[in-house]
Chains A and B, each alone.
Chain A
Amino acid sequence: MNRREAIAAVAYIMGSTVVGAEVFLSGCQRSSSDETLSFSENTVALLDEVAETILPSTAASPGAKEAHIGSFIKTMVTDCYEEKDQKIFAAGLDKLQEVSKEKFKDNFQKLSAGNKHALLVNLDNEAKSYQKSKKEDEPNHYFTMLKQLTLLGYFTSELGATQALNYLPVPGRFEGCIPYKKGDKAWAM
């Protein structure tokens, strides 16, 4: 119970949206068929770019690309997602490129950092309002999936856990109540 609660706490930082909660609490989802999606190198590179835009390298810590989030997302979607979610995810990546071409006349990978950022802020808002108004049995927004996998992958990666967060493999003791100094990083799981 204890551990599950800790996991739920991580799901919570995802903004308590649906896909994250499911993935975290009941494991990956079930599928009616074993057919899986194939991810080309190009797709993995695109995922790296999207993830890096969501969680870029900063003075404080390396970014999602350095943590190889693209291939993590590939593993999760391939091994864990239900077929219907895999399809939404794949179609979503195409849509993302379409939006990119429509708005900025180029592939996402070729956009300037500012345009990438602007595009994803829009998508994020679109996904959030979709998730809020959708009925329970309606599918999730692809960008919600993408963002949650990015966050999960990054903060549980070696770089994310040890540099973006404060990671103690063997704490050695438990102290219940210590002062928190503003700006100190949160504990990794």
Chain B
Amino acid sequence: MNMAVQAINSNTKGVAQNTYDAIVIGSGISGGWAAKELCDKGLKTLVLERGRNVEHNKDYPTATKDLWEFPHRGNMTRQFLKDNPLISKAAGFGEDTAHFFIKDKDHPYVQEKPFDWIRGYQVGGKSLTWGRACQRWSNFEFTAPARYGYGLDWPIRYEDVAPWYSHVEKFAGVCGNKDGIEAMPDGEFLPPFDLNCVETHVQKSIKQHFPDRHLVQARWAHITKPTETHLQLGRGKCQARNLCMRGCPYGAYFSSVSATLPWAARTGNLTMRPFSVVHSIIFDEQKNKAIGVRVIDAQTKATTDYFARIIFLNASALNSNLVLLNSTSQRFPNGLGNDSGLLGKYIAFHNYRANVRGEIPGFEDKYYFGRNPTEPIIANYRNLHQQDTDYLGGFTTFMGAHRTRGATANLTEEIGAAYKDALSLPGGWRVYMYMQGETIPKESNHVRLSKTEKDQWGIPLLVTSVAYDDNDEKMIKDFLAQSTAMLEKAGCTNIQQHDSKQAPGLDIHEMGGVRMGHDPKTSLLNKYNQLHYCQNVFVTDGACMTSTGNQSPSILYMALTARAVNHAAEEMKKGNL
């Protein structure tokens, strides 16, 4: 095996040319952090990214366009939708953002059960299009699986991650308010965005009628007051345009492209290699560790091997599973580090199915200025100190209120001058709430490699076998009932409940398959995100998640990544890696 590797190696230049201190696979939210932290530690770092290069500002073709400059005003054409039924379902997907998402036919996979796998393959990954919600996990989430017996105990606690959350928040720039809520710990926040008048009203009403529930201002990765670090990178204050998914010309929301990667580049230690599809991680049986990574050029399809002492796998949750499953050797016939046979199992995600909305009279003399790119949050209030529902897990609730357009209520005719003038005025206010629920990891929810089908680079297709269950249905019911009750108490009328019944995947919070744990028999990674059985390989994206919690996950991936790099660097110094 190893001999063959050497032979294929790098068509011309030989091993030395292709050797780095560290390799990072993927340049999205977590890979960008791995790159930044490794380069800051003085390690020569190669970042392998399967997609094209994207440079801050230069490659944001729609960022400053007005709506009328899009021929279909944001909609996709019939032909595009016919060719891309899957990716076009993604939240926020449209004529202005399509260039940051894949096309369906380029990247097939096998849906054994319906699963909408949303991907953005380019430098920056999904950090360019993410929603930017950034709440911290609390210890309730780290301890819930052990306390309620619904899975594996996390090998870490809030205290292990807290300093790394701080580290990450300060650099990324997260706005929010310190609210002192046990279920959603405070962080290093820049000033929050305002609540609007109706949101403030709903906040007060919840406080009065549901004293154990807390509606707070958004904790979101936006710079509301740049620090010296932000300014050094050319990142500035958010201009409240709410066009973030196109890429931000002000660098005001956090992305790999505006923040971590340029920072890493400034150290002089970074080598970026776009169009590099990682095929597998190369394991050396004599050395009993990984020695490098096999790459297929996205365009020429040529194979090249790269070498390093440590490897960070950050290809996004399911792709990291795929890479490990495809990294086979005599020692690891079922995938790298997979002695337990659990690689690819216990996949979970967030439950985004349900929302409620209503109208609220009485605020017609109030309005707002600008477009708020964030949303207020109701911290989880379920199953905190004890299990108090007929289901396991909890949910975060996002909410918002906005004024509609069109003061047409008293018109008898909806044609003509009076109608048009009425449509130019603001209408009534509406309020909505939607859920982000925890789902329970189960062995049966899994991904694996197809035995028969391969992609255009000769890599087996991923098979997804992931579904909702009864626990999720119960949580949806509870969410709908509780949220409706909160809207009623706030004085909403015409309240409507909605369950989208969407397949998993559209939440874009897929997690698991390479979970962390104390015991190598029941987990793949140790408490520092190292493969138990191949300790120079670190997996720090969503694949590492032992349970899903109910908070938005990405800021935790960032914190775990920075923590793991720190550990790796220390171990390297000690000669252990």
Chain A residues proximal to chain B, CB less than 8 Å: 1-7, 9-10, 12-13, 15, 23-24, 26-31, 34, 53-56, 58, 60-61, 63, 75-76, 79-82, 117, 120-121, 124, 151-153, 155-158, 161, 164-165, 168-180, 183-189
Contact = CB atoms under 8 A, between A and B. Distances in A.
Contact of B370 (A29, A79, A152, A168): A168
A161 B424 CA distance: 9
B328 to A, nearest CB: 40
A120 B398 CA distance: 42
Nearest to B427: A13
A20 B402 CA distance: 19
Between B71, B199, B371, the greatest number of chain A beta carbons within 10 A of the residue's beta carbon is seen for: B371
Main secondary structure of the interface of B (DSSP, over half): loop
B55 interface: no
A115 to B, nearest CB: 13
Interface residues of B, number: 72
Contacts of B94: 27
A130 B575 CA distance: 77
Interface string B419-437: 1110111110010101000
A82 B421 CA distance: 32
B197 A9 contact: no
B81 A29 contact: yes
Contacts of A56: 416-417, 420
B65 to A, nearest CB: 10
A7 B75 CA distance: 11
B240 A171 contact: yes
Given A124-B414, A175-B194, A180 B68 contact: no
B369 A30 contact: no
Nearest to A56: B417
A180 to B, nearest CB: 4
Given A173-B369, A177-B366, A178-B369, A10 B405 contact: yes
A20 to B, nearest CB: 11
B365 interface: yes
Given A58-B417, A177-B368, A2 B374 contact: yes
Given A157-B68, A175-B368, A80 B75 contact: yes
A9 B426 CA distance: 11
A127 to B, nearest CB: 10
Interface string B104-119: 0000000000000000
A9 B196 contact: no
Contacts of B151: none
Given A58-B421, A171-B240, A171-B241, 17 more contacts: A15-B414, A27-B94, A30-B78, A60-B424, A76-B72, A79-B72, A80-B78, A156-B68, A171-B239, A172-B240, A173-B239, A174-B369, A175-B370, A176-B193, A176-B197, A186-B405, A186-B424
Nearest to A164: B424
B220 to A, nearest CB: 10
Q: Taking each of A4, A13, A124, A151, which has the highest tally of chain B beta carbons within 10 Å of its own beta carbon? A: A13
A121 B400 contact: no
Given A1-B91, A28-B77, A79-B78, A176 B200 contact: yes
Given A170-B241, A173-B240, A4 B75 contact: no
B404 interface: yes
Given A80-B78, A155-B423, A124 B365 contact: no
Nearest to B420: A55
Contacts of B162: none
9 contacts: A13-B405, A13-B406, A13-B427, A30-B81, A54-B416, A58-B420, A172-B240, A175-B194, A179-B367
A176 B373 CA distance: 12
Contact of A177 (B197, B241, B419): B197
B296 interface: no
- 9 closest A-B pairs by beta carbon, nearest first, are A176-B194, A171-B370, A174-B370, A13-B406, A180-B367, A174-B240, A177-B197, A175-B369, A186-B426
B413 interface: yes
Given A174-B193, A180-B426, A186-B426, A61 B369 contact: no
Contacts of A7: 74
Contacts of A153: 73
Interface in B367-394: 367-375
B415 interface: yes
Interface in B296-316: none
B415 A183 contact: no
A164 B72 contact: no
B73 A152 contact: yes
A2 B406 contact: no
Interface in B503-527: none
B451 interface: no
B366 A9 contact: no
A177 B242 CA distance: 18
Contact of B75 (A15, A27, A53, A177): A27
Contacts of A186: 403, 405-406, 424-427
Contact of B368 (A12, A151, A156, A178): A178
Nearest to A172: B239
Contacts of A155: 405, 423
A180 B426 CA distance: 9
Contacts of B91: 1, 4
Contacts of B430: 9, 12
A174 B405 contact: no
B420 A2 contact: no
Contact of A161 (B67, B82, B194, B400): B67
B406 A54 contact: no
Given A2-B373, A4-B92, A176 B199 contact: yes
A13 B416 CA distance: 16
B228 interface: no
B374 to A, nearest CB: 7
Contacts of B193: 174, 176
Nearest to A64: B420
A169 B78 contact: no
Interface string B175-214: 0000000000000000001111101100000000000000
Nearest to B400: A5
A180 B82 contact: no
A157 to B, nearest CB: 5
B131 interface: yes
A156 B96 CA distance: 14
A58 B416 CA distance: 9
B375 A174 contact: no
A81 B91 CA distance: 21
Contact of A174 (B200, B371, B404): B371
A4 B195 CA distance: 19
B78 A180 contact: no
